[in-house]
Amino acid sequence: MTDTFPRFDMLAKPKRQRLRLLAWAISFPSVWRHGVKITKVRTAGLKPPYLLLCNHNAFLDFKVTTAAVFPHRANYVVAIDGFTSPTKKGFKSREGLLRTVGCICKRKFTNDAILVRQLNRVIRNGDIAVLYPEARYSLCGTSAILPESLGKLCKLLKVPVVSLIMSGHHVNSPFWNLRDRGVYRTEAVMTQLFTADELADAPTEEINERIGQAFTYDDYLWQRLRGVRTPYKKRAEGLDKVLYQCPACGAEYRMCSQGAQLRCTACGKSWTMDELGTLSADEGETEFAHIPDWYEWERGNVRKEIENGTYAAKCPVHVESLPNADGYVHLGEGTLTHDQNGFLVRVNGPYGEFEMKKPVPSLYSSHIEYNYLGKYGDCIDLNTLEDTWYCYPYDCEFSVTKFALATEELYQHQRHKLQPHTK
């Protein structure tokens, strides 16, 4: 990469959280409006420092987390784009504000040794280190893949490990349509998974297993079991971003949505989403009533393509870079290729020619956005330790959801091939 642009200072020490009362005051109205019930399990006598692992479905997560840990100080790990404010500088900038309240910057899906150092500083300060290990909003309200390094991180920090699993936030404002539906009585369960002593005695594999169990959730199942209704009439709009393949005819990229209805423009079949988040075919068989089941069916189809060696995608892209918090830089136009070798992006623009490679073993998952910032539409962002590229495909048939699924399945496929087989 070029040295034309200054890079975000990842080495700056995280500040101890200030403005706690202000953060709580900003968070409380949303927590109150949604009637969030916070339940605590095995937390008697729990005091900072500790590591808090939270699931991630919506921006409301941050506000509920603030309420759950109040009045204690906490430092939150936040993605680089959260710090961005191109029109203001210094304390008045978003970067200045987030640093003041103790936020720690991270580029998604990178192996970042600096982050470990920063979390250690938080723990040494006697505060709470807050991490959202899924590193993205859930696409359909279910568990995302967790990094295998999580158990090692817990062992390094040597403090209690606590989970905060929130339910109802995807139902309230799903990633594919962020409109707040006003869902009342969402829930959060805060559980001490390991005391410091239990952590010291536990092998890394056990730590990862227990965290994985804690992070097993399904917001649509929760909605149905709780009888939580969303009368919002446009509740299905945007769902075609996630459910991009028709289960009736198999066509990809031909799904559309309007109001409470999904429809395939290839075969004409349609489905209606009711107030409990359940799908039903308007005519004929209902292939998938449960939205996550449809999503996992798509994953299975991607897996078959990878196993057969037929998965490949290539499309023209607009590419924007985020080297620091001052704003996005238009690098130019280029091509994005995704296949058995991973991602390859080549771009040419006013600053020259650039290339980014992300081989399969370097990405166990990836981050996507739908209609990101209202610029060019859907995108996938690819990260190095120094830069983030937002790649917007155009003039081609594509789904960034399929890119995300393929990233995960390619990683697992290659990992399986490299593992020794036992009889």
Q: What share of the chain is helix, strand, coil (3-state, %, to 5)?
A: 30, 25, 45
Give 245's DSSP letter.
B
Q: Could you give the domains of the chain? A: 20-226 (no CATH), 241-308 (no CATH), 313-418 (2.30.29)
For residues 235 and 260, what is the distance between their CA atoms, to the nearest angstrom?
A: 5
Q: Output the CA torsion sign for 398, 400, 401, 407.
A: positive
**What are the C-alpha distances in Å from 79 to residues 76, 372, 374?**
10, 15, 19
- pLDDT under 70: residue ranges of the chain: 1-3, 19, 86-92, 420-423
Helix, strand or coil, per DSSP, at residue 263: strand
Q: Look at residue 87 in the predicted model and tell me its pLDDT.
A: 52
Question: What does the pLDDT read at residue 154?
Answer: 98
Alpha-carbon Rg of the chain, whole angstroms?
A: 22
Gap between the Cα atoms of 290 and 183, Å rounded: 19
3-state secondary structure of 69: helix
User: Looking at residue 322, what is its pLDDT?
Assistant: 96
Q: Which residues touch 44 (CB under 8 Å, ≥6 apart)? A: none
Q: How far apart are CA 80 and CA 99, in angstroms?
A: 12
CA count, 13 A, side-chain hemisphere, 154: 32
Per residue in 40-70, pLDDT tens? 999 999 999 999 999 999 999 999 999 999 9
Q: How far is CA 30 from CA 24, 82, 100, 186, 361, in A?
A: 10, 20, 22, 11, 40
pLDDT of residue 56: 95
Virtual CA dihedral for 137, 139, 140, 145, nearest 10 degrees? -80
Alpha-carbon gap, residue 217 to 12, rounded angstroms = 35
H-only helix segments in 202-351: 204-214, 219-226, 291-308
Q: Quick check: helix, strand or coil at residue 235?
A: coil
Peptide bond just before 292 cis, omega within 30 deg: no
CA pair distance 114, 102, nearest whole angstrom: 16
Non-local (6+) Cβ contacts of 147 within 8 A are 133, 135, 364
Phi, psi angles (nearest 5°) of residue 131: -130, 135
- Containing 407, the helix (H) or strand (E) segment is helix 400-418
pTM of the predicted model as reported, rounded to 2 decimal places: 0.94
In a 3-state reduction of DSSP, which class is residue 102? coil
How many residues make up the chain in this entry? 423
pLDDT in tens, 291-345: 999 999 999 999 999 999 999 999 999 999 999 999 999 999 999 999 999 999 9
CB 343 within 8 A of CB 337: yes
- Identify the three-state secondary structure at position 358: strand
